[in-house]
């Protein structure tokens, strides 16, 4: 099997699963319990927090464990605007955000907040001038993703953050789910107040994640309850998940340091091979994109058809993002980039991980070429 759908989710590392199982079976105490068995779980939790903070270059008290990217984004966005509604009711985000950001914003619009959805350029990146123009006196939150999940474009986060820190009171939230483990992001240099990470995108487990909240920032929690996670995220802590998260983050960061060039090699090889297929159009820009996502279209062939054709060869890829691929809707990201409807409907996303090999890439390229040829024949005949 060739798994090229790593932006949808990744395979947990063996070691991460081992930790999860061991913590779940040996240290299942409730970290909030007074007794020593609970204390042990609490110790694991605090160690997971410390390790995560160290890797992210922040203080442990700024790390809040969540259930993943969706919760992190919702907590950051809703928590920030509810807390600061008295200061203003204007939010800025982009048209290419993940649904957990866009739909959170749409919900807030119904509650009387106004939201600007910034467009992107043809390379899938936001023009910082658009941010500057959109910021108003009553802007309380700017939420921009780091690496786009569909095309891999990288946003000028640090630039935006630096400009905001000088020119606005607005909080700055970054959805770092796709960039984590691939493209380093300095929370300090980017003046980032809130930052979302998800565990299952870095070979951890589903249902785990982190929201970084800068120590100087106050937001309103969304859950009422037992006041865990410094009151920010009530609910009995997922000790095993958090330990697994900390381990996955460490291992992925180590991989990034030692193997990022391998990922680039895979990406560049695939990029060139795919381009050789007749009629293919790249939706991911050649430069300025992350090393693990390639989005392309073969006009005339529906994305869904290609996915299933590849599946017959035991090769797994996506159309657009996994979250929206079940809805028959044209990708908002691709249309924002100015990509025509037919091309957008035919788009395929190949997303890689450090575990993929060059021989997998070779086999994929060959199969794709064959399939594209066969399918185009069928399509030509039917026309």
- Residues at the site binding other proteins, with contacts judged by CB under 8 A: 19, 22-23, 27, 34-36, 39-40, 42-44, 47-48, 51, 61, 243, 246-247, 250
Identity of the residue, 44 or 77, whose beta carbon is nearer to other proteins in the bound complex:
44
Of 206, 261, 210, nearest in space to 56 by CA: 210
Query: CA 22, CA 205: separation in Å to the nearest integer?
Result: 14
Identity of the residue, 247 or 256, whose beta carbon is nearer to other proteins in the bound complex:
247
Identity of the residue, 21 or 341, whose beta carbon is nearer to other proteins in the bound complex:
21
Query: CA 139, CA 78: separation in Å to the nearest integer?
Result: 14
Identity of the residue, 44 or 294, whose beta carbon is nearer to other proteins in the bound complex:
44
> What value does the CA radius of gyration of the chain take, rounded to a whole number of Å?
21
CA 3 to the chain's CA centroid: 18
Identity of the residue, 24 or 268, whose beta carbon is nearer to other proteins in the bound complex:
24
Identity of the residue, 38 or 300, whose beta carbon is nearer to other proteins in the bound complex:
38
CA 221 to the chain's CA centroid: 22
The answer to whether residue 323 is catalytic is: yes
Buried b (16+ CB within 10 A) or exposed e, 14-51: eebbebbeebeeebebbbeeeeeebebbbebbeebbeb
Dihedral of the alpha carbons of 368, 374, 377, 378, in degrees to the nearest 10: -110
Query: CA 233, CA 227: separation in Å to the nearest integer?
Result: 7
Of 255, 362, 298, nearest in space to 4 by CA: 362
Query: CA 141, CA 89: separation in Å to the nearest integer?
Result: 9
Q: Where are the beta strands (DSSP E) in the chain?
A: 2-3, 63-66, 90-94, 114-118, 139-145, 171-175, 194-198, 209-213, 281-282, 293-297, 315-316, 347-351
Query: CA 377, CA 380: separation in Å to the nearest integer?
Result: 5
Question: Quick check: helix, strand or coil at residue 196?
Answer: strand
Nearest distance from C-beta of residue 13 to other proteins, angstroms: 13
Instruction: Tell me the catalytic residues.
Output: 323
């Amino acid at each position: 099997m060739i798994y090229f759908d790593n932006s949808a989710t990744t395979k947990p590392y063996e070691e991460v699963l081992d930790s999860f199982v061991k913590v779940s079976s040996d240290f299942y105490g409730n970290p909030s319990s007074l007794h020593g068995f609970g204390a042990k779980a609490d110790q694991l939790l605090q160690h997971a927090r410390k390790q995560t903070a160290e890797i992210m270059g922040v203080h442990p008290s700024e790390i809040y464990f969540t259930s993943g990217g969706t919760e992190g984004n919702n907590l950051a966005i809703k928590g920030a605007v509810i807390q600061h509604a008295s200061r203003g009711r204007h939010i800025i985000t982009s048209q290419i955000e993940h649904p957990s950001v866009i739909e959170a914003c749409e919900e807030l619009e119904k509650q009387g907040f106004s939201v600007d959805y910034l467009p992107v350029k043809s390379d899938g990146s936001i023009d910082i001038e658009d941010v500057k123009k959109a910021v108003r006196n009553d802007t309380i939150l700017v939420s921009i993703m780091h690496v786009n999940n569909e095309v891999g474009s990288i946003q000028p986060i640090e630039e935006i953050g630096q400009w905001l820190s000088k020119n606005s009171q607005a909080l700055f939230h970054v959805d770092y789910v796709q960039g984590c483990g691939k493209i380093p992001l300095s929370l300090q240099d980017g003046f980032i107040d809130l930052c979302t990470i998800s565990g299952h995108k870095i070979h951890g487990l589903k249902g785990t994640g982190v929201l970084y909240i800068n120590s100087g920032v106050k937001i309103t929690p969304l859950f009422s309850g037992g006041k865990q996670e410094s009151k920010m995220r009530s609910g009995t802590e997922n000790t095993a998940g958090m330990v697994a998260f900390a381990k996955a983050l460490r291992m992925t960061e180590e991989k990034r340091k030692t193997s990022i060039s391998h990922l680039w090699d895979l990406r560049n090889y695939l990029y060139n091979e795919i381009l050789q297929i007749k009629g293919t159009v790249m939706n991911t820009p050649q430069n300025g994109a992350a090393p693990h996502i390639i989005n392309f279209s073969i006009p005339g062939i529906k994305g869904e058809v290609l996915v299933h054709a590849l599946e017959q060869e035991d090769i797994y890829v996506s159309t657009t993002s996994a979250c929206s691929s079940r809805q028959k809707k044209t990708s908002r990201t691709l249309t924002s980039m100015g990509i025509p409807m037919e091309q957008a409907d035919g788009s395929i996303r190949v997303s890689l991980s450090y575990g993929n090999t060059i021989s997998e890439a070779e086999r994929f390229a060959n199969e794709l070429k064959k399939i594209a040829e066969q399918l185009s024949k069928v399509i030509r005949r039917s026309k």
